[in-house]
Structure 1
Amino acid sequence: MPAIAGDAKAAPDQKLVILNSVADLRSTAPAKELVFCKGFLSPGDGGGGLFFWSPQDDQLDDGAIVVSHDDQKVGRWVREFTSGEIDVRWFGAKGDGRTDDTAAFEHARDFGKRRARREPQVATDPLGSVKIKIPAGTYLITRPEALLDRAWPTSTLGLCYEGLGPGISAIDYRPSQPGSLLFNNNAVLFLRLSGILFACNDGVSVFYESISSGKAQDVRCEDVVWNGSWSTGFKLTGTNTNSEYKWTACTIAGGWDYFLDLDGNDQLLNYWFHNCKFWATRGGGWIRAKRGGHIKVSDCDVSGWKETRGRALFALLGTTHARGVCHFLCIGSRFEIQTDSTPVLQSQWPHGVISFVNADFGSQAPWRSPDYIEALIEIGAAGHAMLRWQDCTHIGRHSYRAIAGSNPNSFRELYRYLTDPLRIPPRILADYTGGTHLAVRSCDEMILLDPAIIGTSLCPIISFHNCRSERVVGGQWTLPWNSTLTWSMGIPAIVPQRTVACPLRSNLNSNPIGNFPARALITKVQLYVFNQGAFGPGSKVVVKGKEQDVICTFEAKDSVQHSYFLDDRVGYLVDGPSGLITATTQLSPAAISGADPWGVLLIDFVG
């Protein structure tokens, strides 16, 4: 029977045979005593340990955990360890940044393969048995797939690589030919990576590539740093799963095409980034989802983003997707945008919900072009996902434009498309609530609409609720944005009605009423007087548009009343860019002084 590493127990008074290296075991006569090797190749290199002789053992000699004797066909020296943790130094890794440690990592990886155990009462798939420890040092790896290879024999639940912390444990990946450092060929579930810095500088290699048909999922990275220049961080394809990936307290630095790249099928679901940093100062995108979805980015930071090749930070692509897939949420995150040419968001998703909550894009506002496109929304024939921007700080414009929708590219997709009860797209909704803009003065300056969608069912309904601008020009301030910008542009038209209230004071001859959006239609103006002493005989109020054109005029009644309404129904259309509407007052000599309001103007408008 082969011995399991860790079976032997030394008696308190048992003598030890001491050797300089693991290789010395091959010429050491079998004995009952435990043997202590001072190192793997030389004393003190960290690869030594205790070994015992297993006389009937014939398992594979891996030169690290199991070592055969040169003169014995049967019987093995077996390393004594009990915790389920193995150390890459046991396989000869030096971690000096110069010695090629590829073979050591491959041997540690292969030992993990062989140690998979079957326990049908627990799980139908084999269970992993070891955690591979990476001590302090920089480990040079020169061949792809050294940590996980496509030849993994069967699906396994559990594989773990653990370092002492980024910067303490580092892997320098310099492949002689481009390839993936880890390749999951539908084999490993519950992969765990923690406390390691990974660096590569060839610009074409992939960190982790996975092709899944149902047996590659549940990956977690915690306190991991990626640096240098890569092609892709996580390249996920296949026909099923490749789902449930979570990154916590990780740093994505250097340069990328895309860090997370999803393609293949709409079963790719559930990706979570929490407390992460995307500090790709060499450029690149964070997430590209051609297929799949349900992505959440929470409490993260983007700094020094200098993308120049047109790769949006979040690219949600594809105009045909299965239902229950297109969901994206970014919450509580900060963005330092140092580019004028690439949007944070590019979206083509035909349905679902895309939300940004408490996202701050404002740190680089003084240096960004006034024409910077912060979000690019591309609307295909199937419509677009609902967009929600809540409590965000913006510095750029949002562009809504039409694109040609792709046709279903398989019989399965065609059947799903034709039988979808929701195939006729609903009206596209974009909602901005509680936002602040640092670069434009009005909501119609912020939104760019493609003429091709105006007057069609693809024209989005874009609403603003209690948003504001912090841009002050010529000392003129703006009132909060409360409007439905495209109320008259779609088919059918959506007609929400709102009321703006403006108190009138004696010490102000020209009272600002509101910053009405372009194409807003003022339907009614009312003057409510609650202090007759201020608005006596001879008094009047003139309401004027932004070009000082008169909208309506109110004159005081001759009879003395405690309070009264004056009502004027008008049809004034705000043409062109939005502007500030004012009320000019001419009060009686008996008017009260000070800042107390004597009346209020109520203006109803659509838009």
Structure 2
Amino acid sequence: MAIKNTVINIKDFGAIGDGVADDSLAFRNAITFVYNNYTNLPNYNGGGNGNRRAMYQIYIPSGTFKITQAESMMPSTFTTPIMGVSFVGNGKFATAIDFEPTVAGSFLLSNNNCFLHLLFRDLSFLANTTNANFMKSTSTGAAQNYVFDNIAWGGTWTYGLQLLGTNNNSEFSWYHSNINGSWDTFFYIPNSVGRSGDQFVNYNFYAPNFEVSKGTFINAQYGGSINIWGGSIMYYAGGTGGTFFILGNTIHNGGAERFMCSGTRIELPNANCRMIDSTWSTGSITFISVDNSSQQFQGIGVTGGVNSIFRFGSESGATVTFIGCVLQGKHEYRYARGYDRDARATYINCEFWHYRDAASFITLVNENGSNFKAGAPLIKFDQCRGMPQTNQNKYIFDTTLNWNLKKFATITKKILRIVSWENELPSQAGGNISEDVWIPIGSVITSVQVYGYPSSAGGTTSTTPGWVFTLKGSDGTTLITATPTSNNPSLGMNVTQAQNFICDTDLKRHLVFAANTTVNAAAKGYCLVEYIG
């Protein structure tokens, strides 16, 4: 046939596009034509390397194109590398390819270390059987650099992209993709037999919409360096759910063990749904400004259980960081190694919808039973807050968990300020004879100070004797008793008491700062509680 320009129309190869006729042969003929008609890039100073360059773009107009034969869009029998092949439709929902394979386990595309710098744009891919898989990509160095721009997948599938081989299969990007329906796994790097490499890296998802009844979004048993920016990731409320991100295997090559998700809305509608399950033994896992507090699913009976698991095993594990996130449910950390590893996680400026304190939010599992407790990760919470509720500010969330189990641990000394209304000490006149607060369990109070301003510095002018202020644990332990200088409130007071009070029960960590009934006037001042933990 005569081709007059560099864009070929799939209908010129006999495709019908009515959703009834089988267009398998037309697609096979089109990709064969592109594969056989190429030019070579120039080879200068190492640039181009003489690679074969595709000369034609495959255009697929509006319609529904039914395909029943495996590998019709890309056959595994093509093995000589060629770059720059493009499949372009007339719009994400205007052009649909309906894959209905007659053989179980079939792939619509199979790249056998042949195609690189692929482009898919403005297309929908549909399937309605677990026989169907979208693309198998096998690379020993050539298959790489795929772009999916404004693509939708829907229906019932087993795998989306399955990556095999020993090297590359890297540099993939998705822009504004819609992934709906039911899946086993959309993006899958399996722990395949005979694999000798780990250089599967740089996968970028821009504003993805992964909204399915069941299935895993990303399962990376090898490789890594995964980025997700924005978008919505959710399970349908009536579906069976699954785990969005599975980061598998343990030790990966350097540069191939990094995961970042930023600005994404994540919905976990029931207890069968998890955000992440990782067994990475090194590397980094980071969530930034991620929100999974969907109003519809805030009931603790629905999503208050464990929805994220980090399995450190006998190694240090990946460094886990959450920054500016709103989180539901619990996070679980599993470990098996002793004191000679430095496992750690950090939560910065986060809000936790189901729990008032960090110890309730975290579940620890020692996979060696009672042994090796020193292997528990250091988990730091900085500028965080617990479940929205009345008196939310009474529960101090910031802490470093498990510092008291470690052989060596760097921890931060904290100072808690306790006052009544208007920066005053508790009093009968102020209407609050006491103030109470819960500091993190396991904290150790090292010092307490009670300070009252003298009248010369804006303090009370009262001279009534007998004023007494105390700070106690709810177990009855008195941590400080403070009285004004010379028993004269107008002279102020400054009383400090060193402590070594371990807040290892709820009663001990519940502190009450109180005035006796003689304190009958407002007094400017404060109580400072210094603690570690």
Q: Shared fold (TM-score greater than 0.5)?
A: yes
Match of 1:176 in 2: 102
Instruction: Give the Å deviation of 1:496.
Output: 2.6
Deviates more, 1:172-181 or 1:532-541: 532-541
**Structure 2: how far apart are the matches of 1:309 and 1:266?**
32
Structural mapping, 1:159-558, within 5 Å: 159-178=85-104, 179-263=106-190, 264=195, 265-280=197-212, 282-305=213-236, 311-363=242-294, 364-366=297-299, 368-369=301-302, 371-402=304-335, 426-452=341-367, 456-472=373-389, 478-504=394-420, 505=424, 506=427, 507-512=430-435, 514-530=437-453, 531-533=459-461, 537-547=465-475, 549-558=477-486
Unaligned runs of 5+ in 2: 454-458
Q: 1:132 aligns with which of 46, 58, 70?
A: 58
**Structure 2: how far apart are the matches of 1:383 and 1:93?**
55
The verdict on how the C-alpha distance between 1:563 and 1:444 changes in structure 2, with shifts beyond 3 A counting, is same
**Structure 2: how far apart are the matches of 1:380 and 1:131?**
49
Amino acid at match of 1:550: T
Deviates more, 1:201-210 or 1:395-404: 395-404
Q: Are the equivalent residues in 1 in contact too, given 2:9–2:60 (CA < 8 A)?
A: yes
**Structure 1: how far apart are the matches of 2:250 and 2:482?**
54
Instruction: Give the Å deviation of 1:383.
Output: 1.8
TM-score (norm 2): 0.89
Amino acid at match of 2:383: N
**Structure 2: how far apart are the matches of 1:249 and 1:601?**
53
The verdict on how the C-alpha distance between 1:368 and 1:111 changes in structure 2, with shifts beyond 3 A counting, is farther
Q: Which of the pair has the greater relative contact order for Cα pairs under 8 Å at 6+ separation? A: 2
Deviating above 6 A after TM superposition, structure 1's stretches of 4 or more consecutive aligned residues are 307-310
The verdict on how the C-alpha distance between 1:117 and 1:482 changes in structure 2, with shifts beyond 3 A counting, is same
Structural mapping, 1:574-593, within 5 Å: 574-577=503-506, 580-586=510-516, 588=518, 591-592=521-522
Instruction: Give the Å deviation of 1:581.
Output: 1.9
Alignment partner of 1:517: what SS? coil
Amino acid at match of 1:464: F
The verdict on how the C-alpha distance between 1:369 and 1:309 changes in structure 2, with shifts beyond 3 A counting, is closer
Instruction: Give the Å deviation of 1:160.
Output: 0.4
Q: 1:91 aligns with which of 13, 18, 25?
A: 13
Q: Are the equivalent residues in 1 in contact too, given 2:100–2:132 (CA < 8 A)?
A: no
**Structure 1: how far apart are the matches of 2:140 and 2:274?**
34
Q: Are the equivalent residues in 2 in contact too, given 1:341–1:372 (CA < 8 A)?
A: no
Larger radius of gyration: 1
Deviates more, 1:575-584 or 1:525-534: 575-584
Alignment partner of 2:385: what SS? strand
Q: Are the equivalent residues in 1 in contact too, given 2:485–2:493 (CA < 8 A)?
A: no
Deviates more, 1:299-308 or 1:426-435: 299-308
The verdict on how the C-alpha distance between 1:257 and 1:307 changes in structure 2, with shifts beyond 3 A counting, is farther
Amino acid at match of 1:112: V
**Structure 2: how far apart are the matches of 1:589 and 1:89?**
91
Q: Are the equivalent residues in 1 in contact too, given 2:479–2:497 (CA < 8 A)?
A: no
- Given the alignment of the two structures, is residue 107 of structure 1 paired with residue 29 of structure 2, yes or no? yes
The verdict on how the C-alpha distance between 1:257 and 1:527 changes in structure 2, with shifts beyond 3 A counting, is same
Q: Are the equivalent residues in 1 in contact too, given 2:315–2:337 (CA < 8 A)?
A: no
Aligned length: 505
Unaligned runs of 5+ in 1: 1-65, 67-77, 406-423
Instruction: Give the Å deviation of 1:586.
Output: 2.4
The verdict on how the C-alpha distance between 1:224 and 1:310 changes in structure 2, with shifts beyond 3 A counting, is closer
**Structure 2: how far apart are the matches of 1:582 and 1:113?**
78
Instruction: Give the Å deviation of 1:582.
Output: 2.1
**Structure 1: how far apart are the matches of 2:387 and 2:303?**
14
TM-score (norm 1): 0.79
Q: Are the equivalent residues in 2 in contact too, given 1:228–1:254 (CA < 8 A)?
A: yes
Match of 1:30 in 2: none
The verdict on how the C-alpha distance between 1:249 and 1:267 changes in structure 2, with shifts beyond 3 A counting, is same
